[in-house]
Amino acid sequence: MSANYPPPQPQGGQNPYAAGPPQQGGYPQQPQAPYGQQPQQGWGAPQPGGAFNPGAYPPPAPAVRGRDNVGLGIIVGIAAALAAALAYGGILRALSDDDGTTHEFRLMAIAVGAIVGLAVGKAGGRNPALPVVGIVLALFAVVFGELFGGALVISHYVSSQGGSLSVGDIFLHHFGDLLDSWKHDFGFLRFLYLAVAGAIGFGVTRSAGQR
């Protein structure tokens, strides 16, 4: 004869659907996310809604402005032209003979143009008008250097003959004669070296201004 037994009841009124016993350490088990772990956004990730995040990109580098000082370039160029002209004239005087015969040093004209162009470009910068200034000052330095050298030679020759004629007197009172003497010796080679000196003054000025 069979007997019907009721199902066993939990002791102490326990709920069979309650969570299990707590884990060791007294902390309940954390429920797992139903759809998996959500990825975390890293540094610089785009913000919701397409907003721009300034921290995601480095700031733009400040623009470097080139040097541009026409006045300073002209002043320094004039000073360099005068110094180069005086040096050129002194070299011409040193190469001359006691009887007044001169030996021209044409390559010095090229060096004068380079010196003037370097001074104008370094001081003035990238202004497009400065290379033209370099041409003018280079030609001025070469011509004035040759005139100054001629005045030194004439003054020395007059002194060797027992006379007295300073360089200042030649420029102030006999400049026309000095210029006529310079024109008399003007030939193709002098024109060629003047043109080369002007071209070098232009090129060196532009190159030095861009550095």
pTM: 0.67
For residues 112 and 156, give the distance between their C-alpha atoms in angstroms, rounded to a whole number.
24
Which pLDDT score, from 0 to 100, does residue 63 have? 47
| 25 or 114, higher pLDDT | 114
Q: Torsions phi, psi of 68, nearest 5?
A: -155, 95
For residues 105 and 107, give the distance between their C-alpha atoms in angstroms, rounded to a whole number.
6
Break the chain into its structural domains and give their ranges: 70-209
pLDDT in tens, 143-202: 999 999 999 999 999 988 888 999 999 999 999 999 999 999 888 988 999 999 999 999
Q: Which residue has the tokens 């470009």?
A: 121
